[in-house]
A and B are shown apart, each in its own frame.
Chain A
């Protein structure tokens, strides 16, 4: 909502209010100032009257004008096509400095002397008002040649743009904003004076009839005007330019101006568009259309109330009989209708759906005033009206309620004054209760808290004290908080282990995910309105996002890329589950003296080590993933405490190539499978532990996994731990390799004797020999 200070001044006396104070007040009462701009025409730009205008002898497009600038007539060469004798114009006199920095000097243009410049609105720092120079008229005040333009209030003003919240339709007009300011400044609203109708006017009833069976919650008011000498005065054109509104027709411009001023929705119909009844009167019929909207019809359709107007019924001439209509429909009714059955709407709909001004007379009066002042039109007497019965809303509340909502006591006199200034009627306060009648332009006020809000914004929230809330203490630990803490712990560990946390949108590209073999959201549950084609589905994995980021980092020559993300992924049924995923690509440390500038690249061992620093020791077992991101032979299931927690793999070489990455490892884990909680200490042996190695000759194809299961089966209780320590490959061993496994043996009761250790080892070896045919090397 754009307004200027002087425009507001038509409705509220702001002469004693500094602009700073005005802006501050707007903000304080909940009308947020989005933009403030000062309009000020430079000194030396004055009113001039073009006495004569002749073609330049040497240039087709130039004119030589004689311009009266008050006591002095100057010769000025002007290139505008709309310059002519007999008009008032803005003249930048010699010495004036224009906003672009141009200083006006005497000049010779194609051999003709020129003493000044006839300006367009843009050249003197005003909004653009179309091609050519700005032609002045008396709508800005009496035109006195030589008078500085900055002395006219229209050209020395403040443009203020208010960011209105959706509930404040009543402030979508200059009048509405002024009304709210009146409450804030405790001032009276200047109502535009009712014109006393001159005698002998032809009554509207002679020419117009309104037919209806029901009111359909609509209010209508009609006036008629025989239009003559229609043009847009400068003041109106200038203010419309400030609003950046373009209207092709003069009637449209005047109506839009009146609507912006008063908040009343105004339309003009050509009289010919109405239905001729034959008895000299024309007819407008109110009915309901097939979509349930209240519509007005003449010969053809005229308009949908509050929504749109039929272009053919518009008054688009400069002369002739026009019917002016003001309409109102409650915003909640029209917005609901539109929500249920959307139809095409005109720009007015924004206003009607947020609440236009219901005092229709104000709007019609205002626009008729414009006709009277700026045209030679004849206005018909009286008006035709349709009212819908509406109940006045009354909210009853007592003084204590104000205090409990606000947290501060406000005295009854102040409360009463504020409510009155806001246009509310208060029945005589008996005891401490207020019965507050809500004016019909405030459709947003329905309950006690709405009333409290009005008090709060006028009193000013900054004037309310801060008070700590006293509450009963209570254990607020929730399972959601535990989950949050668990994730936070793993995030901290991941960062400590060298990974950078990253955050990606939960959107992926379906085509890409499916190409990699991931299962995306079921078609019938898929996103309806994705924002881009590359974000058209919910992510089934964190890995695609990490892969894209790693690739982007690689492209800017990042040598070590270590990222992780913890976040939600979605399965085909859109069920959410929390995961944490890691990617490590390229160098596994920085280049430095100790590695002679050549960092080793990441390998399975180094990557798995980093992951175990985060999640604890885990086992890797062979794994065939459901997706195609992984290297088929370097790919593992992550087993944590005997439970499958996720997968860890090297990226498939062809994917590494596609994403411009060097050796890259990834791991994705289910958050639920990661341990969190308190650790319970286990008893431990006080006796010395013994270590023994077994070096086995095993076939290349035999997995350690199967050896392990045999060892577990045959290990005595004293075998506490065993782990592979060396793997020897040599041509001499043929299809076999040598694998050394280290065993730790320890008893709870005593230091083990050599014979006991030997027996335990022998038992394991026997098992291996019998079950796998494996022997010592």
Chain B
């Protein structure tokens, strides 16, 4: 019979083993071919038959005890080893806070994207056209004959061959009307050019213009109000929208559209020149002379146009118009 003292020593040895290697040594010493367990079982043959049962039973109990102890200790040491390893791998995560290496979209182009998204969701088609235009598409067809005083409103870049850089995206509407038939429901996003360069004007800027043409009597000012109010609330959030009668040669009646100042909520501040309102849009019912110029009869329609830079500057609180064209990383990186 295995001596109690010897058993206790093995138990102590397992409990005090402090490496997995040591556990392995003990396992071999106990359960290996030449280990003590085999030696104990070998003694079976010398034990009287009557005691054999008891002996074997006890030996099996010891075997299981030692086995369980070994694997427990091994698991414990493995865990301990792992946590020590992990501890040694510790990093000061606060040193590694990443700065994104992503670039960004330009605030004007991103604003243009949002505008296009709104109108395409409203089932408007997108049309684009050339930047180098002729007098007919940019002026004549839009009820701006050569001597019209309203031409003063738009200082134009001309080329030596009498072509010009479009002063608005309205010529795209003319081109679309000439190449398709009503009904029309379109927007024209793009760059436009005016010969003006100061703190509030750049020679190039971006516009989105819209046009809806339907049968005569179908399109009313009330329809124009609906879509523009909804559009402006989508772009600027909950603002008040105000329509002021105005004048554009290509629409009649015409209106300018203001939103309540998003900086002072209408109380009056520097940005809104103390008026509480910000002018953001021009719109109106299409002038019959425009339809005449493209050969449309018995139709009605509305049109609107907006400057994308103005929207972007208001929405993103950008103070300096010219900074939008300088490619300055210090501005652009804020839009990541």
Residues on A facing B (Cβ under 8 Å) = 27-30, 32, 165-168, 331-332, 335-340, 353-354, 401, 404-408, 447-450, 452-453, 456-457, 461-462, 464-469, 471-474, 476-478, 480-481, 483-484, 488, 491-492, 494-507, 521, 523-532, 535, 538, 545-546, 548-550, 552-553, 556, 558, 561-565, 567-568, 570, 574, 576, 589-590, 592-594
Contacts and interface: CB of A to CB of B under 8 A. Distances in A.
Contact of B220 (A27, A404, A496, A556): A404
Contacts of A505: 202-204, 325
A484 B116 CA distance: 10
Per DSSP, are chain A's interface residues mostly helix, strand or loop, or mixed? mixed
Contact of B219 (A464, A469, A503): A469
A610 B329 CA distance: 18
B189 interface: yes
B333 A500 contact: yes
A589 B159 contact: no
A340 B105 contact: no
Chain B: interface residue count, which band?
A: 35 or more
B259 to A, nearest CB: 13
Identify the interface centre among B96, B116, B148, B196: most chain A CB within 10 Å of its CB. Answer: B148
Given A505-B204, A527-B157, A528-B160, A462 B124 contact: no
Interface stretch (B27-35, B45-53, B67-75, B222-230): B222-230
Nearest to A502: B327
B160 to A, nearest CB: 5
Contact of A353 (B99, B132, B149): B149
Interface string B14-28: 000000000000000
Given A468-B226, A524-B160, A549 B103 contact: no
A155 to B, nearest CB: 24
B281 interface: no
A349 B184 CA distance: 41
Contact of A535 (B203, B216, B256): B203
A332 B204 CA distance: 31
Given A353-B149, A484-B126, A527-B158, 5 more contacts: A166-B249, A461-B245, A476-B124, A500-B104, A506-B191
A473 B219 CA distance: 16
Closest 4 A/B residue pairs (Cβ): A407-B222, A339-B147, A549-B327, A407-B220
A22 B57 CA distance: 112
A478 B125 contact: yes
Interface string B324-336: 1111111011000
B149 A354 contact: yes
Contacts of A562: 103
A497 B96 CA distance: 21
A449 B217 contact: no
Interface string B112-143: 01001000100111111011100000000000
Contacts of B214: 469, 471
B334 to A, nearest CB: 10
Nearest to A476: B125
B150 interface: yes
A525 B157 CA distance: 12
Contacts of A478: 125-127
Nearest to B284: A453
B287 interface: yes
B102 A495 contact: yes
Nearest to A332: B147
B103 A481 contact: no
16 contacts: A28-B245, A336-B146, A407-B223, A449-B285, A453-B254, A457-B245, A457-B253, A461-B243, A464-B221, A467-B222, A478-B125, A491-B105, A495-B105, A503-B108, A568-B191, A593-B96
A502 B109 CA distance: 9
B324 A503 contact: yes
A498 B101 CA distance: 5
B161 interface: yes
Given A30-B245, A453-B245, A461-B221, A506 B328 contact: no
Nearest to A523: B160
A453 B252 contact: yes
B288 interface: yes
Nearest to A528: B158
A342 to B, nearest CB: 10
A144 B283 CA distance: 54
A496 B327 contact: no
Contact of A503 (B109, B127, B197): B109
B152 interface: yes
Contact of A576 (B130, B146, B229): B130
Given A456-B245, A556-B330, A590 B99 contact: yes
B316 interface: no
Given A406-B222, A461-B245, A531-B197, A589 B287 contact: no
A468 B223 contact: yes
A185 to B, nearest CB: 16
Contacts of B328: 549, 552-553, 556
B212 interface: yes
Given A339-B146, A503-B325, A549-B326, A526 B159 contact: yes
B120 A476 contact: yes
A564 B103 contact: yes
B147 A338 contact: yes
B63 interface: no
Contacts of B43: none
B211 to A, nearest CB: 13
B278 interface: no
A410 B148 CA distance: 33
